């Protein structure tokens, strides 16, 4: 096995110190494995995809637009 060094904010480290029995290296390894798995799945989908870059940009813009609309609704309800 190889080792990596991570830099984390002091505030996060302080929170981690509250739980000394937790094996943080195992949690980091598990998180990295899940993240890589998502990339691998995305890569497999992208290889088989017939979408063009323009299609992807259009979809991305629509998602951003709808997300912002939902967020504005949430903020409006929160103010009421």
The reply to whether the predicted model has a pTM over 0.85 is no
Question: Is the separation of the CB atoms in 6 and 28 below 8 Å?
Answer: yes
Q: Which two tokens stand for residue 23?
A: 């094996």
pLDDT digits (tens, 9 = 90+) for 14-27: 999 999 999 999 99
Question: Is the separation of the CB atoms in 16 and 24 below 8 Å?
Answer: yes
- H-helix or E-strand spanning residue 18: none
CA atoms of 43 and 37, how far apart (whole Å): 10
DSSP 8: -
- H-helix or E-strand spanning residue 62: helix 53-79
CA atoms of 60 and 80, how far apart (whole Å): 31
Check pLDDT > 90 for residue 65.
yes
Confidence category of residue 51, pLDDT binned at 50, 70, 90: confident
């Amino acid at each position: 096995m190889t080792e990596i060094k991570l830099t984390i904010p002091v505030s996060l480290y302080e929170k981690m110190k509250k739980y000394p029995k937790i094996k943080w290296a195992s949690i980091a390894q598990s998180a990295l494995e899940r993240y890589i798995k998502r990339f691998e799945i995305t890569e497999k989908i992208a290889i088989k995809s017939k979408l063009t870059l323009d299609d992807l940009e259009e979809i991305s813009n629509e998602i951003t637009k709808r997300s912002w609309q939902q967020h504005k609704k949430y903020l409006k309800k929160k103010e009421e």
